[in-house]
A and B are shown apart, each in its own frame.
Chain A
Amino acid sequence: EAQVTQNPRYLITVTGKKLTVTCSQNMNHEYMSWYRQDPGLGLRQIYYSMNVEVTDKGDVPEGYKVSRKEKRNFPLILESPSPNQTSLYFCASSSAWAYEQFFGPGTRLTVL
C-alpha cells in the first residue's frame, strides 16, 4: 500500500530534550516536506526537500533541522524543543515539486 508513515504519532516531552520525528514514504517520491498545523494558521511549511541531499527552508524553519540521506526518509529534528513548538506535525511527499502531495497521519507533539 502506497503511504507516508510518521513516528511517533504522539509525543509528550520537556523543554530542551532533543527529539526526532521520522517520516518515510514508499512511493519513490522525490519531493518531501514537513508542515506544522496550528489552530487558525493552517499548514505552514517548515522544510522541504526536492531530492536526496537537497533541503531548503520553508516559512517557519527556526528551531528545526532535517536531513535527506535516503530518498524514502525525511526525519524532522528538534535539537532543543520549546513549548512554542507544541503543534501537530505532518510529513508529505509528492513525485515532484508542485504535484499532488500525500500526507502522513500526523504527529501530535507537546513540549512542556
Chain B
Amino acid sequence: GQQVMQIPQYQHVQEGEDFTTYCNSSTTLSNIQWYKQRPGGHPVFLIQLVKSGEVKKQKRLTFQFGEAKKNSSLHITATQTTDVGTYFCAEAGGRFGAGTRLTVKP
C-alpha cells in the first residue's frame, strides 16, 4: 500500500481563499516531489524538495519539507480558477500520495 499519506482527499474553495494539502510519511524521505494534474490531463512536475526544513515558493505556491523529512505541504495563496486540479506528492522512486482534488468556485 501507499506509504505517503495525503490529506485532504478533496477541497472545495471560493476563489480567493487559500488552500493547503499535506503529505505524511512514516519513514524519512530522501526527497519529496509535487505534481499537478489538470482535469483530463497528465501529472506535471511542480517542484522537488530535498533538504530538511526547506521552503520554496513559486508565485502563489509555497512548498515546505518538514524538519524530520517525514512531512510536506503545498499552500496556495488566493486561489484562482486556474489552480483547479489534483495535487500529488511523491517520494523518490515514484510512490505517490492519493492526491488532493481542488475545485475553485468563481
A contact residues vs B (CB 8 Å cutoff)? 33, 35, 40-45, 48, 58-59, 90, 92, 97-106
**Interface-located stretch among B14-22, B54-62, B65-73, B96-104:** B96-104
Please give the distance in Å from A47's CB to the nearest CB on chain B: 10
The dominant DSSP class at the B interface is loop
- What count of chain B residues pass the 8 Å CB interface test? 23
Q: How many A-B contacts at CB < 8 Å in the complex?
A: 57
Of B9, B31, B90, B95, which one neighbours A59 at CB under 8 angstroms? B95
Contact at A101–B93, with CB atoms within 8 Å?
Answer: no
Of A59, A98, A99, A103, which one neighbours B43 at CB under 8 angstroms? A103
Closest Cβ neighbor of A99 among chain B residues: B48
Closest Cβ neighbor of A45 among chain B residues: B94
B96: which A residues are within 8 A, CB to CB?
Answer: 35, 42-45
What would 19 A/B residue contacts be, using CB atoms closer than 8 Å?
A35-B94, A42-B98, A45-B94, A45-B96, A48-B93, A48-B94, A58-B94, A59-B1, A90-B43, A97-B93, A98-B30, A98-B92, A98-B93, A100-B45, A101-B33, A101-B94, A103-B44, A105-B42, A106-B42
Contact at A33–B33, with CB atoms within 8 Å?
Answer: no
Of A41, A90, A102, which one neighbours B98 at CB under 8 angstroms? A41
A101: which B residues are within 8 A, CB to CB?
Answer: 33, 35, 43, 45, 90, 94
* Given contact pairs A42-B99, A43-B88, A100 touches B6 in the complex (Cβ within 8 A): no
B contact residues vs A (CB 8 Å cutoff)? 1-2, 6, 9, 30-31, 33, 35, 42-45, 48, 88, 90, 92-99
Closest Cβ neighbor of B50 among chain A residues: A98
Contact at B95–A45, with CB atoms within 8 Å?
Answer: yes
Contact at B45–A42, with CB atoms within 8 Å?
Answer: no
Extra inter-chain contacts (12) besides given A42-B2, A43-B99, A99-B48, CB under 8 Å: A35-B94, A40-B9, A40-B98, A43-B90, A45-B94, A48-B94, A90-B42, A92-B94, A98-B31, A101-B43, A101-B90, A101-B94
